[in-house]
């Protein structure tokens, strides 16, 4: 593709998932940005400014003009096993709160100057909202410790939904994306995926999630152990893992992240779920990791496992466990500060 085929470094929607390897950011722009900076005076802000310049294909980088945060929502069958401090119905309540503007993440988005969108890819029951954001490929999902979470067709449809949403956001002018999820129990499949992809024992990937006590942690650890055993047949195949032990929201995240990279659009990752989805997306689309930065370190060990493989160090270490894009949105201010450097 020639430079004449892009606008501000953003690849047009003709790019599809058929691309095997993602084109890297512009290294010339990165070098030019670093040469113009202050030799380490501003530390990681200089690295961040150079990364953004490379993503934009211009030096110096300009401030993002349209920041968009996208949250994917789905219900997880494993939530009914009592792996979370919250009831399974809380997922739908979170979606409703974001859509009516009352959720805390709405304040985070306002502070970051970001638009906010919630996409339903697998809620057990439809939620009120824009019909464009009802992309449900399943109503709920299987229980990962005893059955496949999705069918092969549902997993593929969820990945496709994520790609389509990424295309929509980029086509509408987004030049910096923030991605997150809204789901009770999502840290359980996240732990299974992280352990599967990194070859670690279940206990190395299981965290306290929503703030669970020791008893619930043991229930969660047993579910992760059983899910990991069930996933042994698909090993480190992203599509197989999403089908057997993942979920519609995680599959959509994989599709979204891979497609954003193909469209040459930078993304700020949120917590464990988005970081582990990024690990799968980079496997599906090698080189995609160059288009992402990690926003904030969370309390889940699965995030650390994924980011270690990806070679990404969070911009902030706030030990947040809220998820829902809040950590990534907090880091958007650093991206803006880096441009001012």
pLDDT digits (tens, 9 = 90+) for 53-70: 999 999 999 999 999 999
Asked whether the predicted pLDDT for residue 10 surpasses 60, the reply is no
Q: Which two tokens stand for residue 39?
A: 């030799």
Mean local confidence (pLDDT), 157-186: 97
| CA–CA distance, 314 with 49 (Å, rounded to integer) | 15
At 321, the pLDDT band (50, 70, 90 cuts) reads confident
Buried b (16+ CB within 10 A) or exposed e, 80-94: ebbbbebebebbbeb
Mean pLDDT over the full length of the chain:
91
At 21, the pLDDT band (50, 70, 90 cuts) reads confident
pLDDT tens-digit map of 122-160: 999 988 888 889 999 999 999 999 999 999 999 999 999
pLDDT score recorded for residue 158: 98
Asked whether the predicted pLDDT for residue 9 surpasses 70, the reply is no
CB 247 within 8 A of CB 74: yes
- Domain boundaries along the sequence of the chain: 67-325
Name the region of 301 (left: φ>0; alpha: ψ -120 to 50; beta: rest).
alpha
At 218, the pLDDT band (50, 70, 90 cuts) reads very high
| CA–CA distance, 106 with 325 (Å, rounded to integer) | 10
Task: Give the burial class of 295: count Cβ atoms within 10 A of its Cβ; 0-12 exposed, 13-18 middle, 19 or more buried.
Answer: buried
> Which stretches of the chain are assigned E, i.e. beta strand?
67-74, 114-122, 176-182, 267-269, 292-294, 296-298, 316-320
The residues, any chain, with a CB within 8 Å of residue 116's CB and separated by 6 or more, are 68, 69, 71, 98, 105, 106, 109, 325
Q: What percent of the chain shows pLDDT beyond 90?
A: 84
Of residues 19 and 245, more confidence is placed in: 245
Mean local confidence (pLDDT), 45-51: 95
pLDDT tens-digit map of 67-110: 999 999 999 999 999 999 999 999 999 999 999 999 999 999 99
pLDDT score recorded for residue 221: 95
pLDDT tens-digit map of 259-312: 999 999 999 999 999 999 999 999 999 999 999 999 999 999 999 999 999 999
Q: How many CB atoms lie within 10 A of CB 10?
A: 18
CB 323 within 8 A of CB 273: yes
pLDDT score recorded for residue 327: 94
Determine the topology of domain 67-325 in CATH: Rossmann fold (3.40.50)
Q: What percent of the chain shows pLDDT beyond 70?
A: 94
Report the Cα 100 to chain-centroid distance in Å: 23
Q: How many CB atoms lie within 10 A of CB 211?
A: 11
pLDDT score recorded for residue 23: 96
Q: What are phi and psi of 331, to 5 degrees?
A: -75, -15
Mean local confidence (pLDDT), 167-193: 96
pLDDT score recorded for residue 250: 98
Q: How many CB atoms lie within 10 A of CB 57?
A: 18
Residue 87, helix vs strand vs coil: coil
């Amino acid at each position: 593709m020639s430079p004449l085929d892009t606008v501000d470094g953003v690849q047009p929607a003709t790019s599809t998932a058929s691309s095997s390897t993602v084109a890297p950011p512009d290294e010339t722009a990165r070098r030019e940005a670093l040469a113009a900076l202050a030799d380490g005076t501003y530390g990681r802000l200089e690295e961040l400014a150079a990364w953004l310049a490379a993503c934009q294909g211009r030096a110096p980088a300009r401030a993002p003009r349209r920041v968009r945060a996208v949250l994917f929502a789905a219900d997880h069958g494993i939530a009914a096993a009592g792996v979370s401090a919250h009831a399974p119905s809380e997922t739908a309540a979170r979606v409703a709160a974001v859509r009516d503007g009352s959720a805390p993440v709405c304040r985070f988005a306002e502070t970051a100057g970001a638009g906010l969108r919630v996409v339903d890819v697998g809620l057990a029951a439809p939620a009120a909202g824009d019909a464009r954001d009802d992309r449900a490929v399943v109503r709920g999902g299987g229980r990962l410790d005893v059955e496949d979470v999705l069918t092969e067709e549902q997993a593929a449809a969820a990945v496709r939904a994520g790609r389509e949403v990424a295309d929509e956001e980029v086509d509408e002018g987004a030049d910096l994306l923030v991605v997150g999820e809204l789901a009770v129990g999502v840290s359980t499949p996240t732990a299974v995926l992280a352990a599967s992809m990194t070859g670690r024992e279940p206990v190395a990937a299981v965290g306290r999630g929503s703030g669970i006590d020791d008893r619930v942690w043991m229930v969660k650890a047993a579910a992760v152990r059983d899910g990991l055993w069930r996933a042994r047949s698909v090993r480190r195949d992203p599509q197989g893992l999403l089908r057997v032990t993942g979920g519609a929201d995680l599959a959509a995240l994989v599709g979204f992240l891979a497609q954003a990279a193909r469209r040459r659009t930078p993304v700020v990752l949120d917590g464990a779920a988005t970081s582990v989805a990024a690990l799968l997306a980079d496997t599906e689309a090698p080189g995609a990791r160059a288009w992402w930065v990690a926003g904030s370190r969370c309390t889940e060990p699965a995030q650390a496992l994924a980011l270690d493989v990806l070679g990404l160090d969070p911009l902030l270490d706030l030990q947040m466990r809220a998820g829902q894009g809040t950590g990534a949105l907090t880091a958007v201010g650093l991206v803006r500060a880096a441009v001012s450097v």
